[in-house]
Amino acid sequence: MVLGDSLSAEYGLERGSGWVALLERRLAQDKIAARVVNASISGDTTSGGRSRLPELLKAQRPTHLLIELGGNDALRGLPLAATRDNLLAMTRAAKAAGAKVMLIGMQVPPNFGARFGADFAAVFADVAKAEGTALVPFLLAGVADRPDADSLFQPDRIHPKAQAHPTMLANVWPVLRPWLR
């Protein structure tokens, strides 16, 4: 199950063209018997995910939970401590329900300042280390950090175009694949 925000919910994209849909096709291509539940909502924050997660765990009973939340926390200026606490709570709840957990990290644009950017990125790594979970450091690596990054984003410059989503999956897949064994 993927618990995410607009980056996983296919905001502004044709249905079936986002990285989560591509993941489902990749699993089938590699003959890995898995059903992917995309529990992502555009605009969601870690507090929103935290409040939705107990019911999702109960209803879906995932064996693996990929948490792709936090970007909207930063965009809204929410305290890093709250983001950290919410990620910890979700990770612990999922583990208690028997699911393996992967955190999918995010980074903020340079205009947020170097210190905040480093502190924000560290939240994901710190929670993953503390809880012994899998970590993808930056979902948009190879997308947002390219010299021609603007060409891979929708006009809002926040949401990637469909052509960026294979790269996003390529960031997740090397961490996810061995984790499925």
Read off the pLDDT of residues 56-100 as tens digits, 9 standing for 90 and up. Answer: 999 999 999 999 999 999 999 999 999 999 999 999 999 999 999
- The C-alpha atoms of residue 105 and residue 82 are separated, in whole angstroms, by 16
With H, G, I as helix, E, B as strand and everything else as coil, classify residue 31. Answer: coil
Query: Of residues 5, 44, 73, 159, which has the active-site annotation?
Result: 159
Which backbone phi and psi does 46 adopt, to 5 degrees?
Answer: -65, -35
Quote the pLDDT of residue 179. Answer: 86
Looking at residue 181, its pLDDT comes to 72
Q: Is 5 a catalytic residue?
A: no
Q: Which domains does the chain have, with CATH numbers?
A: 2-179 (3.40.50.1110)
159 in catalytic set: yes
Residue ranges of the chain whose pLDDT lies below 70:
none
- What φ, ψ does residue 65 adopt, rounded to 5°? -125, 120
Half-sphere exposure of 156 (CA within 13 A, CB side): 8
Residue 142: which residues within 8 A CB-CB, separation 6 or more?
Answer: 167, 170, 171
Q: For residues 73 and 82, is the Cβ–Cβ distance under 8 A?
A: yes
Task: Quote the CA–CA distance of 179 and 181 in Å, as a whole number.
Answer: 6
Q: Which of 6, 8, 40, 165 is catalytic?
A: 6
Written as six digits, the tokens of 164 are 């960026």
Active site residue 145: no
Residue 107: which of 125, 97, 120, 93 has the closest Cα?
120
